[in-house]
Structure 1
Amino acid sequence: MRRTLPPKPVIAAVLIVRDEARCILRCLESLRPHVDRMLVLDTGSTDGTPMLAGGCGAEVHHLPWPDDFSIARNHALDLADADWNLMLDADEWIVSGGEQLRRWCRQPRLGKICVHSDMDGAATPDAERRNWLTRLLPRGVRFEGRVHEQAISPLPRARIELHVGHDGYLPDQLDRKRGRNTPLLLRDLAERPGDPYILYQLGKDAEMRGDLAAACTHHAAALRDTPAGANWRHSLVVHQLHCLSKHGDTDAALALADAEMANYPDSPDLFFVLGNLLLDRALTDPAQAIDQWLPLAIGSWERCLEIGERPDLEGSMQGCGSHLARHNLDAARTQLRLLDMQQELARLVA
């Protein structure tokens, strides 16, 4: 008797979009070989996005923008009606790992994919930040939160080596979104006062706007109540160290780094920012630069190279465990040698 094989699960790519003619085809073309269906929910485009998506083979639907990302995403999931749903934004695209989707979608779980975000203004043009985000959902999972929405499910979450590019943090794209998220986050916070994840996102939003004082305040409040095992905590700590440093609160930043070092002893991102903090202290305290601050900064960047790259850490920056640390290390060693020579010359002249 021939055994009947169970039907293959239907995998849908699900997107909510608005005015994404710049990048919608790049996204859909990267998805098309790996999914059974592509569903695009347009929330008010005026630039031809729906026509481009339809021409690429996507099923296009329309919804007036509800001022709530979860409402839009959940509506799109209802329309998709698929066994599995891969949630991407139009400014993202599959870089590698798409061939794993079919094999991975055999167990009831949620999939965390790695999103590589291009970062403008970093030390090198190829710098990117890496975030592991829950984007692969079995049927029935829905989102909560007006913005930076989260998938809600008791099912376990596991990483799939699906790597996605993202260029939405580059200046031209950020200008389009500026001011959009803040009121939505504040409304969520009013409903869930003290929620550490919302405070963390408010801190990042303020940091993006250049309001470092607000960023430090929100991040500090988030740190007080963020569980040790929260997947975003490493990113929160690194963001707060960076914001405190840029805001001139070096003492608070050094105290935070000292407190968190035991939690993240193998984080090149933490030691990279610590090196920068110690270099700043060397510039403001030149009397102790040679004997204390510069050697400590050098030791921090050496530790980065010992650890190496850690793309598995949430919010990690490419290069902190390699070329960025090496660049800072070489510059600091050169500076220390120059200061030693100047000090020796001063002794001889005296």
Structure 2
Amino acid sequence: MQRYTVAAVLIVRDEAPRLRRALDSLRPWTDRLVVVDTGSQDNTVAVARAAGAEVSHLRWCDDFGIARNTALERAGADWHIVLDGDEWLARGGETLATLRTLRPDFVGAVRVDSDHGPQGHTSVASNWISRLLPGHVRYTGRIHEQPQHTLPVRRLPLQVGHDGYSAVALDRKAGRNATLLQRALGDHPDDPYLWYQLGKDHDVYGRHADALHCFNQAEARLAGLAATPAWLHDLSVRSLHALKCCGRHADGVQRASDGMARWDRSPDFFFALGDLMLDWAANEPARATELLPMIEGAWQRCLEIGERPDLEGAVHGRGSHLATHNLGVLRQFGPRVHAPK
């Protein structure tokens, strides 16, 4: 039986506090750890070498696709598992190890669980991302780069943790992604995925009006795609949140009505709708009598659907304990309830 090689491939910069966690999680299940450093000022390189990684250097050129491909070339394995320094393999190492006996004729999508919010009040959102690549596959794109291939994609029982949305991490990366996305859009102004990602960056940093503009630009360009992208779910939910934050409650309810048929099985969609209507009731108390039953119905619908971690951007708990908590608050205080800060 042929034995295939498996390499973990990371591009990093100033990830010393987190990198050992990533490498330790990957070492038992891979043949090699390959790290490309793009200009660290801390002791990232020493940490990587101490963890048993092969380390090389690349001058940063404001292009993640080039950096990824450089790292893949230097790894040169039959299979590559691609992670970042603020990620780690949380579950599924045994599946990764079985690749040594599997022909590299598909791309593997793994579930990346990202922590959001301040310490002690985090929420976890899941995204399915193609991170397990046959040796010949390479990336394109300056930022939010995508592997280019015509192979089938399989969702694998691999779970990756990610804490790159912590307050400290966001401060460290502030402005970087938006700048690169705007450059990328200068080259590809009709790419809906880039518009979505720029909107997501605005949303993460609280620039909600800018986020809405970008989300609308993304949706306007979807007609040119052969299939509906999985990220449309996350865009739709984030749009409701942004409309709430902009005080455009009536527009949000209309947008939800337009998307109801598509997202009838999404707890995230109904959770965001209930949150938007609660904010409306708090800002316009005269509407509370009309809105409160609708809010309750939205969060009850979350529980009827249950958890849907298969949906892009799904936040854990919106189909269970988070909806239950909100319903408890709503029923306890009734018309006196105020929107959460």
**Contact conserved, 2:118 with 2:167, CA < 8 A, in 1?**
no
Identity over aligned residues, as a percent?
Answer: 48
The aligned counterpart of 2:129 is 133
Unaligned runs of 5+ in 2: none
What pairs up with 1:16-165 in 2 under 5 angstroms? 16-104=11-99, 105-106=102-103, 108-121=105-118, 125-165=121-161
- Structure 1 residue 74 displacement after superposition: 0.3
Amino acid at match of 1:135: R
| Greater C-alpha radius of gyration | 1
Q: What is the aligned partner in structure 2 of residue 243 from structure 1? A: 242
Q: Report how far residue 275 of structure 1 moved.
A: 0.5
Give distance in 1, aligned partners of 2:322 and 2:299: 9
Alignment correspondent of 2:178: 182
Separation in 1, partners of 2:115, 2:228: 27
**Deviation (angstroms), 1:288:** 3.4
Aligned Cα root-mean-square deviation (Å): 1.6
Q: Indicate conservation of the 8 Å contact 2:110/2:157, yes or no.
A: yes
- Aligned counterpart, 1:166: 162
Aligned to 2:264: 265
Give the distance between the partners of 2:116 and 2:255, measured in 1 at CA.
Answer: 25
Q: How many residues align?
A: 332
| Runs of 4+ displaced beyond 6 Å | none
Amino acid at match of 1:209: Y
Alignment partner, residue 348 of structure 1 = none
Match of 1:100, SS state, is: helix
Tell me the alpha carbon deviations over residues 109-139 of structure 1, each in whole angstroms, 9 at most, x when there is no partner: 11111111111149x7242111111100001
Structure-2 separation of matches of 1:288 and 1:49: 55
Q: Say whether 1:204 aligns with 2:203.
A: no
Q: How far off is 1:271 after superposition?
A: 0.3
Change (3 A) 1:51 1:174: same
Partner of 1:22, secondary structure, is: helix
Gap runs ≥5 in structure 1? 340-350
User: Residues of 2 paired with 1:63 and 1:209: CA distance?
Assistant: 29
Instruction: Give the secondary-structure state (helix, strand or coil) at the position aligned to 2:52.
Output: coil
Instruction: For 1:143 and 1:180, locate their aligned partners in 2 and report how far apart those are by CA, in whole Å.
Output: 20
**TM-score of the two chains, using structure 2 as the length reference:** 0.94
Counterpart CA distance in 2 for 1:221 and 1:66 is 28
- Which secondary structure does the structure 1 equivalent of 2:34 belong to? strand
| TM-score in terms of structure 1 length | 0.91
- CA apart distance, 1:337: 6.8
Which of 319, 322, 325 is equivalent to 2:320? Answer: 322
What per-residue deviation string (whole Å, max 9, x for no partner) do you get for residues 162-188 of structure 1? 001111100011111101111211111
The whole-number CA distance in structure 2 between the counterparts of 1:313 and 1:100 is 22
Deviation for aligned residue 1:208: 2.2
What secondary structure is seen at the aligned counterpart in 2 of 1:229? coil
Distance 1:107 1:180 in 2: 34
CA distance in 2, matches of 1:108, 1:92: 25
Q: Distance in 2 between matches of 1:284 and 1:15?
A: 47
Of 298, 316, 325, which residue of structure 2 is paired with 1:300?
298
Query: Which residue type is aligned with residue 25 of structure 1?
Result: R
Q: Give distance in 2, aligned partners of 1:328 and 1:150.
A: 37
Q: After alignment, is 273-282 or 298-307 more displaced?
A: 273-282
Partner Cα distance (1:27, 1:103) in 2: 20
The reply to whether residue 191 of structure 1 matches residue 190 of structure 2 is no
Which amino acid letter does the alignment assign opposite residue 167 of structure 1? D
Query: 1:220 — aligned with what?
Result: 216
